[in-house]
A and B are shown apart, each in its own frame.
Chain A
Amino acid sequence: KAGVTQTPRYLIKTRGQQVTLSCSPISGHRSVSWYQQTPGQGLQFLFEYFSETQRNKGNFPGRFSGRQFSNSRSEMNVSTLELGDSALYLCASSWTGGSSYEQYFGPGTRLTVT
């Protein structure tokens, strides 16, 4: 099975712009979670989508939004970019069927805001 993929891998944007990141989960996985990773802050949860519905949400401002399509692919959007949004954005997919909770990460998108 192919692993989780993310595009693009690197992005450089200017403050005030908006950006859209994409995540394709492992085939058969219906849940996609998004995380922001910055040095010293670990993996901060943004939101999770399951069957096209946002199931869980972290403590990020409304500038961060997401969606999931019927094929389970997910996109994350950040509007009005700030310098502090520079980070590695990781998505993770899981099946969440029965007692299966394992999450598998994509390679991440490195976003730099200048």
Chain B
Amino acid sequence: GENVEQHPSTLSVQEGDSAVIKCTYSDSASNYFPWYKQELGKRPQLIIDIRSNVGEKKDQRIAVTLNKTAKHFSLHITETQPEDSAVYFCAATPGANSKLTFGKGITLSVRP
């Protein structure tokens, strides 16, 4: 089955800097890659996703890139703000009839 790994497990950046979180996946059939943000005590929220027919997707300060050959995808956050501090989960799935496999999450801390 699919295996999703996130590195590093924690990341600390200065406010205003950029943050990059990388995930790798194992199943070459995976074609949907969402990112979730979970603030302390709250539910995971879908923030951006990408499908395998697209190499990059942007939404204001966040972007996701996908490298199918290397089987990795990354979340890019520019001009980080303290409210970006949270746990970020990546996930992958081969399709709608398959389960979504999550990475273990990365804790992002933005220092003011």
Please tell me if the beta carbons of B100 and A55 are within 8 angstroms of each other in the complex.
Answer: no
- Inter-chain CA distance A43–B106, complex, in Å, is 12
Please tell me if the beta carbons of A48 and B99 are within 8 angstroms of each other in the complex.
Answer: yes
Please tell me if the beta carbons of A104 and B46 are within 8 angstroms of each other in the complex.
Answer: yes
Which residues of chain B (6-53) have a CB below 8 Å from chain A? 32, 34, 36, 42-46, 49, 51
Which residues of chain A (25-45) have a CB below 8 Å from chain B? 33, 35, 40-43, 45
A41 neighbours in B (Cβ, 8 Å): 104
- Which residue numbers of B lie inside 8 Å of A, CB to CB? 32, 34, 36, 42-46, 49, 51, 89, 93, 95-105
CB proximity of A6 to chain B, nearest CB, Å: 9
B99 CB contact (under 8 Å) in A33, A90, A105 = A33
Which residues of chain A (1-59) have a CB below 8 Å from chain B? 33, 35, 40-43, 45, 48, 50, 55-56, 58
A100 neighbours in B (Cβ, 8 Å): 96
Most chain B beta carbons < 10 A, residue from A33, A42, A100: A42
